[in-house]
Structure 1
Amino acid sequence: MTSALESPDAVTARAPAKVNLELFVGPLREDGFHSLSTVYQAVGIHDEVTAARADEWGCTVSGRDAERVPTNDSNLAIQAARALAERTGGQDPVHLSIHKEIPVAGGMAGGSADAAAALLACNALWETDLSREDLDAIAADIGSDVPFLLHGGTAVGSGRGELVTAVLAKGRYHWVFVPCTGSGLSTPTVYEAFDARTAGSEITDPVPSAALMSALRTGDPLELAPVLDNDLQPDAVGLQPQIGEIIEAAMGFGALAAIVSGSGPTVAILAGSTEGAIDVAVALTASGVAGDILRATGPVHGAHVLPTARLL
Structure 2
Amino acid sequence: MREPAPAKLNLALHVRERRADGYHALETLFAFVDQGDVVSVAPGDGLSLALTGPFACDLGSGDDNLVLRAARLLQSQAGIAKGAALTLDKRLPVASGIGGGSADAAATLRLLDRFWGLDLGIEGLMPIAAALGSDVPACLLGRTAIGTGRGEHLVPIANDLAGTPVLIANPGVALSTAAVFAQWDGVDRGALAAGEVSDIIAHGRNDLTTPAQELTRDINRLLDALIGSGASFARMSGSGATCFALYESDVLRDRASRAMSQDHPHYWTMACRLT
Q: What TM-score, normalized to structure 2?
A: 0.93
Instruction: Name the counterpart of 1:114.
Output: 104
Q: CA deviation at 1:90?
A: 2.6
Aligned to 1:17: 7
User: What's the C-alpha RMSD, in Å, of the aligned pairs?
Assistant: 1.9
Q: 1:154 aligns with which of 126, 138, 144?
A: 144
CA offset digits 1:289-310 (Å, max 9, x no partner): 76422111012xxxxxxxxxxx
Q: Is the aligned partner of 1:52 residue 2:36?
A: no
| Distance in 2, Cα, partners of 1:271 & 1:55 | 47
Indicate if the aligned counterparts of 2:110 and 2:122 stay in contact, CA closer than 8 A.
no
1:250: how far off? Answer: 1.8
Distance 1:27 1:188 in 2: 15
Q: Give the corresponding residue for 2:165.
A: 174
8 Å CA contact 1:49–1:97 kept in 2: the answer is: yes
Task: Classify 1:98/1:118 alpha carbon distance in 2 versus 1 (closer, same or farther; 3 Å).
Answer: same
- 1:224–1:88 distance in 2 versus 1, CA, 3 Å: closer
Q: Which residues in structure 2 correspond to 1:41-190 (within 5 Å)? A: 41-171=31-161, 172-182=163-173, 184-190=174-180
Structure 1 position 228, deviation (Å) = 4.7
How far, CA to CA, are the matches of 1:181 and 1:74 in structure 2? 23
1:195-254, CA deviations, whole angstroms, 9 ceiling, x for partnerless residues? xx33xx4x38x64212xx3453xxxxxx67643520000111111101101111221222
- The equivalences for 1:221-232 within 5 A come to 226-232=202-208
Q: Does 2:223 correspond to 1:262?
A: no
Contact 1:76 1:111 in 2 (8 A): yes
Code of the aligned partner of 2:193: S
Aligned mates of 2:157, 2:240 — CA distance in 1: 24
Q: In 1, Cα distance between the equivalents of 2:221 and 2:51?
A: 32
Report the identity percentage: 33
TM-score (norm: length of structure 1) = 0.82
Q: Which residue of 1 aligns with 2:273?
A: 297
Shift of 1:134: 1.2
Q: Does 1:208 align with 2:192?
A: yes
Opposite residue 109 of structure 1, the aligned amino acid is: G
Tell me the SS of whatever aligns to 2:268: coil
Contact 2:53 2:89 in 1 (8 A): yes
Change (3 A) 1:132 1:153: closer
* CA distance in 1: counterparts of 2:121 and 2:172, whole angstroms: 40
1:237 aligns with 2:227: no
Contact 1:91 1:126 in 2 (8 A): no
Aligned residues: 274
Summarize deviations over 1:247-287 as a string: whole Å, max 9, x none. 11221222222211110011111211111111222222333
Q: For structure 1, which runs of at least 5 residues remain unmatched after alignment?
A: 1-10, 217-222, 300-312
Aligned match of 2:249 in 261, 273, 283? Answer: 273
- Paired residue secondary structure (2:145): strand
Note closer, same or farther for the CA distance 1:249–1:290 as it changes in structure 2 (3 Å cut).
farther
Cα gap change, 1:254 to 1:60, in 2 (>3 Å): same
Q: Contact conserved, 1:51 with 1:97, CA < 8 A, in 2?
A: yes
Which residue number corresponds to residue 307 of structure 1? none
| Residue 105 of structure 1: how far off its partner (Å) | 1.2
1:249 aligns with 2:240: no
Q: Is the 8 A contact 1:38 1:161 kept in 2?
A: yes
